Structure formats: C-alpha cells, structure tokens
Chain A
Amino acid sequence: QVQLQESGPGLVKPSETLSLTCTVSGGSVSAYYWSWIRQPPGRGLEWIGYVYYTGGANYNPSLKSRVTLSIDTSKNQFSLKMSSVTAADTAVYYCARVKASPIGETFDYWGQGTLVTVSS
C-alpha cells in the first residue's frame, strides 16, 4: 500500500519561502507523476503542480512564477518550494500520487496533509 507523508515548517513568515517534503513509502517515486495540492481553511482544493521522476514538472499557471517542484529518487521523496508567500498561501498542503493518461489525471493516493500558516 502506497503511503505519503508531508513534512516541513508549520509557520512561515510573509515574503519568505515555504518548503515542504513528501516521503513516499510502499512504492517507488521512479514511476508515476507526483503532485502538490492545497486547501485554504474552509475552502476548496487547488492543484499546485506535479513532478516526474526525470525531474520534469508542470505548474498551475497562477502559481508558476513562485513554485518549484523537485524530486529525489535516492530518498524516495519529492519537494515543494513556494517563494514570496503571503497570508493567502495559508492552507493545508497535500501531496498525492498522479496516474496520468492521455485523457486525464487521477490523484489516487494522498498524504494526510500539513497546515502551513503564513504569519509574522
């Protein structure tokens, strides 16, 4: 059974960089795409982007200028960095596995999520 676990600081100051890591167990990151999704308190889900084991990535156009996704196959982990954060970036951040096909993307396994608060 594939399991994902997010880790990283729960509090980030405005204008600084948010950094999260997702550790995958029960399967290898050297297959599939791996994604980050966030959910502001009391609101809906927003796709941030995904990364492939080759290092190639695709980003939500609305966040692309501030987001970098990377992957470390030796540690079976992938990571999110989001720069110049504001209070609007306060959210629960989820990592998820993506099953991609020519006609769609399915997020079939999710981490439990980690709350990141942006505040001074």
Chain B
Amino acid sequence: QSVLTQPPSVSGAPGQRVTIPCTGSSSNIGAGYDVQWYQQLPGTAPQLLIYDNTNRPSGVPDRFSGSKSDTSASLAITGLQAEDEADYYCQSYDGRLSGSVFGTGTKVTVL
C-alpha cells in the first residue's frame, strides 16, 4: 500500500494551472528525502518529470514545476494542454521501510 497520498483526480481547462499535492510523513518527505514526479501517458511506461524536488530533466517543458515543504510536495502544471492528460505519481525514499515509495497517483483531465 502507498504511504504517499495524492488526490485521485484533478481537472482544468486548457491554459489553466493545476496543482497535485503529495502528502507524506516524517519517515519519508519529512525526513528530508527528495521527491520525484513521474508522468504516465495512457498505455505507456512512467517517465521522469521532476527529480530532486524541483529539477526538470532535459526535454521537460518548464510548464511543469515541483516544490516541497515539510512532509508534503506538490507538482504544478501551468498553461494546461490536452497532451498533459495522464496519470502523475510522486515518489520518495522511506527510511522506515528502507526503500522507495510511490504516491497513490492522480489522473489529470483537461476539460
């Protein structure tokens, strides 16, 4: 079972800004471990979107941004586009479990 909690879904109109929260605890995000975000387009493998809380790999548009505070993290998508419809997962390391944990996942719908 996931130890990082995300809302099941968020939606927005084209051009709008949406945010996806990721809530953890003192054994993962709150312990200072970095947070990553992955985008999973329908029928495909997840792809790294944000690493080390705020960094974008080469090729990821700057419409995507990450932040982290205390025991939570957040992914923001500005200027929402139809191609952003996908599932998004946060991920961090958990010191109590001694391994990686993923968020429950959020489906983004562009209205």
Residues of A within 8 A of B (CB): 35, 37, 44-47, 49, 58-61, 94, 99, 101, 103-108, 110-113
Contact = CB atoms under 8 A, between A and B. Distances in A.
Please classify how large the interface on chain B is, using the bins under 10, 10 to 19, 20 to 34, 35 or more: 20 to 34
Contacts of A49: 99
Contact of A104 (B48, B92, B98): B92
Interface of B: 2, 32-36, 38, 44-48, 51-52, 57, 89, 91-93, 97-105
A45 B89 contact: yes
A44 B48 CA distance: 16
A104 B99 contact: no
A50 to B, nearest CB: 8
B102 A45 contact: yes
A104 B45 contact: no
Contacts of A44: 2, 89, 102-105
